[in-house]
Amino acid sequence: MLDHPRKGRLLTEDDIIALEIGAGILGTGGGGNPYIGKLRAREMLRADYEMRLLSLDDLDDEAQIVAVGGIGAPLISFERIKEGREGLRCLRALEHRLGFTADAIGCEEIGGQNAMEPLVVGAMAGLPVVDGDGMGRAFPEMQMTTYSIYGHRSTPSVMCDPHGNVVSFDHAITEKWHETMARACVIAQGGASVLASAPMSGAFMKRYAIPHTYTQAIGLGQAVIDARKTHDDPVATICAREGGQHVFSGKITDLQRHFKGGFNVGIARIEGLDDCRGSQGEIVIQNEFLIFRRDGEMQVCVPDLVVVLELDTGLPITTELLRYGQRIAVLALPCHPLLRSDEALNVVGPAAFGHPDITYAPLAEKGAA
């Protein structure tokens, strides 16, 4: 149920172009390659489908929202193009399984290609997409959403692959178990699929979704486009807009990256340039950029955002596109307050990624926001 079923912002091709950049920045290297997502979304618009963005305020409390997103390793989703209707198959199978009709589509994570997947599904289903998400960035595991952190149970859920397989998860005893079983399944399906989770109410979304993140990402991408047109510094533009810090500039001198357990994992090492000459940087990767160290000292860590940009253009670089010799800028952006609670840090803090020795100190409390 929606208060105004046709209310909301109609997206244009220009919005999608800006979203590609903004979702790439907020994706902290993960969420799937946003360029491929942009191409898919653009083709939907050119085929006269509508993409409508709906404010959380316009949701009826009883509305049923289904969040969809890709699951797997970004490298696989970059190398193996989606069939295209995986998300719609997930939605229809879930509706049939539970005997309901969705009122809107939700976004699991605003990062990367996963910002585009809900728009594509919403366009095919004739449904609006809620202007918000469950991460405000990208994280590598499904239980790392504000939805799950604050009480939503994601099962029953449905996963679909490009081959036409449809797999249902009827019940998981915890959100982590759901992630574990789904991760095993996606490996069997080739490393990249789409998943739709159990519906959430409008009332729950209003309270626990990170709000306005589509608007944020589109605005951020447009700011970068405008800065490049006027020959302003896009890196400084991003920091000013998001309350962030430019923490390092350098050249990638060593890159260790491989596929393990359904994730891209690795380390990028960086030799400092410009004001950072003489220093060494290191980025820890698990689908996303998780931790940045300078000269062995931790500077930024999850849940705050470690963002990697092309040094000269300010355009985002995803983990699968890192290359030896790239000149990069490393930014630190503060996460949303919903990710800084004790409940959230148990799930998305550094200890949850195997780094119990790191104590998280919010950028927002250090004057970055």
68, containing H or E segment? strand 64-72
Task: Give the domains, in start order, of the chain with CATH numbers.
Answer: 9-213 (3.40.1610.10), 233-353 (2.40.390.10)
Find the range with the poorest average confidence among 210-214, 285-289, 348-352.
285-289
CA distances from 329 to 19, 131, 236, 248, 252 (A): 20, 29, 11, 6, 10
Output 369 or 189, whichever has higher pLDDT: 189
Q: What is the mean pLDDT of residues 229-237?
A: 95
Q: Which band of pLDDT confidence, cut at 50, 70 and 90, is reported for residue 83? A: confident
- Alpha carbons 118 and 240: distance in angstroms, whole number: 29
pLDDT on residue 280? 98
Structure tokens at 285: 């990767």
pLDDT on residue 75? 67
Find the range with the poorest average confidence among 96-110, 250-264, 333-347.
250-264
Helices 13-26 and 213-229: crossing angle, nearest 10°? 100
pLDDT on residue 261? 66
Q: What is the pTM of this model?
A: 0.93
Structure tokens at 280: 């060494």
Q: Which band of pLDDT confidence, cut at 50, 70 and 90, is reported for residue 194? A: very high
Output 288 or 151, whichever has higher pLDDT: 151
Find the range with the poorest average confidence among 70-79, 169-178, 180-189.
70-79
pLDDT for residue 366 is more than 70: no
pLDDT on residue 191? 84
What average pLDDT does the structure give for the chain? Answer: 93
Tokens 């060494």 sit on residue: 280
- Alpha carbons 336 and 321: distance in angstroms, whole number: 27
Q: Which band of pLDDT confidence, cut at 50, 70 and 90, is reported for residue 74? A: low
Between the two ends of the chain, the Cα-to-Cα distance in Å is 37
User: For 3-58, how does the pLDDT look when each residue is reduced to its tens digit (9 = 90+)?
Assistant: 444 678 999 999 999 999 999 999 999 888 899 999 999 999 999 999 999 999 99
User: For 288-326, how does the pLDDT look when each residue is reduced to its tens digit (9 = 90+)?
Assistant: 899 999 999 999 999 999 999 999 899 999 988 899 999
Q: Which band of pLDDT confidence, cut at 50, 70 and 90, is reported for residue 368? A: very low
Amino acid letter, residue 161? D
